[in-house]
Amino acid sequence: MKNVISTILLLSFSFLISQETYVPMRVKDKFGLVNLKGKTVLNPQYDALMYMGKNYFSYTHNHFTKDTIHWVGGRIEVKEVNRPETGVIQHKKVIISGQKYPVYTVLPDQIILGGDSRSYIENAMLFSPNGKALFSRDIDTFHGFNPQFDTQGNMTHNLLMIAYEDKTYEIAVYDVKKGEISQRILENLNLLKVRSQRDDQLLEFDYSDKNNYYLNGFIWFENGKYQLSDERPNSFTNEQEYGMYGMPGRTAVAAPEMVPNVAMEGMKSPVPAEKMPAERVPAPISRPAPPAEFSLSPEKQVLNNKEPIEKNHLNFEFIDEKKSQKEPLIFTAENGKKGLFFTDLRKENPEFDHLQYIKNQFGITIYDFRHYYLAGKKDSNAKMKYGILKPDGTWTVPMVYDSIQVNMPETYWNTDDEKNKKIELREPYTYDNKTKRILEYSSSGFLDSNKGFMVAYQNGKAGLIGMNNEIYLPFEYENIFKNGFSFVRDHNYEMQDSFIILKKNKHYGIVEFSSNREIQKIIQPVFPELPTRYFPNYNGHQGLDMFVLSTADEITFCYADGNGKVFLKK
């Protein structure tokens, strides 16, 4: 009976949550809100509607007005200019309206930040959770210090240092539970520098007041309130303040990129190298002889001043334009075929139609700057096959692939033609096909799970392989590439945008890998448009991912869930 009651309560709670969770729905060119079952709760009326987290949505109303531009020579041209109105909706209620800020973010301490820029803070305002402006004028930068928490780990207070556009400063206390500024510790300061911060308890800073008196101050939290003094309190010893060696902290000037010092939600710790599967670590490779020293002359090239090599017989390519190299050199014979020339004067047969250096940026577990070689050769049917050679001339990837993209291609907007924008692919490090920059393969998976993979093709289908010919994804896709639109994050702490995109049958899916290159999440191609970011566990629903689909014209075209259900009515 107890289990039955628990099940009923759980289902009831899930039902209530589903009724209170809304998703932006696009109807033609307007956005409204619907619940997870598709029932309309806010009629489509906005030109843009973006989920911010915790059931907050930012909206945009476009307002096009006539504007005159006077050109030299007396010619006047009249154009339309968009002066959008923006605001914030909580659930289905508008709590901020009539603003100019294009970007809104819900910060971890429940403050709503509205600002001009996606990449840094300027011309901004901080709002309480119910939409009330916390300051009377725009701020330029801010930083949070000495946050206080209750016994459940919830933030209760945060110390804010504010810089205004007129280069004046203020120190204020934000009461998180009440959603208001509860203390204004110092106002109208002409200078503010943080001197040291220890254990989120004692803050030491320098400042000058409105009379330009240069002062030193200390702030700490005690008896439910932040305390201010011009002397270090007795409760903080020199060892607590400066550490066991008595070294003072370095002075730091408030900078435009300062943001609250609260760890972003969803960040994962890197996996230590020693925990990686043994099979991922390649066997040691025997090193060739000591480096060869080459000197160039108009007539010939000389190896270690021993054996002259006439230039009209062999043409050498140097790695990174260096005149000496530990690795084998690439040479081209008179018949146009390419081969490897080792430091012991041993030459591989010039049998390849294509041979190109691959610069290995990082090893799997350690730094490793060995160079590999992308080799290609025509088969009996005059079709090119590609593989990868090790520095010792043996194969690490057999020559069985139709093509290998060492640098995983990524998406980008081609805006050369403003009227016909396109989403296209480019290779990192080699954006310009006219430049012959060295290919760069980075096999480290700790900093970016998209690294350490190459896209290969067999029989016209794409798959994902590693430098040791590991098959990470089968050869069944039209294309595989990296999401290159991470710059549209908008400081949203719930958003995920680092993933690989799969294309099949004109639809798109995603795959994410862990740091040891195991598949962490995969959604087979079900989206009709390109997924560029998503919200894991949307609005607290475990396992519910909500994706933002983009086109060449609109970064937020519509929303879709992980099953491919699109919230769109044409």
Tell me how far apart the alpha carbons of residues 266 and 453 are, in angstroms, rounded to a whole number.
Answer: 24
Using CA atoms, how far residue 32 sits from 98, 129, 512, 560, in Å, is: 18, 21, 31, 14
Tell me how far apart the alpha carbons of residues 423 and 554 are, in angstroms, rounded to a whole number.
Answer: 11
Tell me how far apart the alpha carbons of residues 445 and 181 are, in angstroms, rounded to a whole number.
Answer: 44
Specify the pLDDT at position 296. Answer: 38
Q: Which residues pair with 112 in a beta bridge?
A: 106, 127
Using CA atoms, how far residue 407 sits from 356, 366, 431, 499, 534, in Å, is: 13, 20, 11, 15, 24
120, 113 Cβ separation under 8 angstroms? no
Specify the pLDDT at position 442. Answer: 62
For residue 320, the tally of other CB atoms under 10 A from its CB is 10
Tell me how far apart the alpha carbons of residues 181 and 246 are, in angstroms, rounded to a whole number.
Answer: 35
437, 429 Cβ separation under 8 angstroms? yes
For the sheet containing 48-53, what is the strand order?
48-53, 56-61, 85-90, 93-99
For residue 335, the tally of other CB atoms under 10 A from its CB is 6
In one-letter notation, the amino acid at residue 409 is: P
Q: 305 in the Ramachandran plot: left (φ > 0), alpha (ψ -120 to 50) or beta?
A: left
Tell me how far apart the alpha carbons of residues 187 and 171 are, in angstroms, rounded to a whole number.
Answer: 7
Q: CB under 8 Å to 237, separation ≥6 — which residues?
A: none
Specify the pLDDT at position 227. Answer: 92
In one-letter notation, the amino acid at residue 309 is: I
Tell me how far apart the alpha carbons of residues 292 and 381 are, in angstroms, rounded to a whole number.
Answer: 38
Question: What DSSP assignment string belongs to 231-248?
Answer: S--TTS-HHHHHTTTTPP
In one-letter notation, the amino acid at residue 92 is: K
- Cα angle 392, 393, 398 (rounded to 5 degrees) comes to 125
Tell me how far apart the alpha carbons of residues 114 and 97 are, in angstroms, rounded to a whole number.
Answer: 12
DSSP for residue 304: T
Task: List the chain pLDDT tens, one digit each, 570 residues.
Answer: 444 444 333 333 343 444 489 999 999 999 999 999 999 999 999 999 999 988 899 999 998 888 777 666 667 777 788 889 999 999 899 999 999 998 898 887 789 999 876 555 678 899 999 999 999 999 988 888 889 998 898 899 999 999 998 889 999 999 999 999 999 999 999 999 988 876 668 889 999 988 888 999 999 998 889 999 988 887 775 544 443 333 333 333 333 333 333 333 333 333 333 333 434 444 444 444 433 444 333 344 444 444 444 444 456 665 544 434 567 888 888 888 999 888 666 777 889 999 888 876 544 334 455 678 899 999 888 999 999 998 888 999 999 999 998 888 888 888 777 677 788 888 765 544 455 555 666 654 334 555 678 899 999 999 999 888 999 999 999 999 999 887 665 667 778 888 999 999 999 999 999 877 889 999 999 999 999 999 999 998 999 999 999 998 888 999 999 999 999 998
Our CA dihedral for 530, 536, 539, 544, rounded to 10 degrees, sits at: 80
Specify the pLDDT at position 238. Answer: 53
Using CA atoms, how far residue 101 sits from 60, 86, 145, in Å, is: 10, 6, 25
The pair of structure tokens assigned to 436 is 């012959």
Q: Which three-class secondary structure string do you get for 325-336? A: ECCCEEEECCCC
Specify the pLDDT at position 142. Answer: 87
Tell me how far apart the alpha carbons of residues 523 and 145 are, in angstroms, rounded to a whole number.
Answer: 40
Tell me how far apart the alpha carbons of residues 267 and 530 are, in angstroms, rounded to a whole number.
Answer: 25
Nearest by Cα to 349 from 397, 389, 299, 301: 389
Question: What DSSP assignment string belongs to 65-80?
Answer: EEEEEEPTTS-EEEEE
Question: What's the predicted TM-score (pTM) here?
Answer: 0.74
Our CA dihedral for 50, 52, 57, 59, rounded to 10 degrees, sits at: -50
490, 101 Cβ separation under 8 angstroms? no
160, 147 Cβ separation under 8 angstroms? no
Q: Which residues pair with 225 in a beta bridge?
A: 222
| Residue matched to tokens 């448009």 | 529
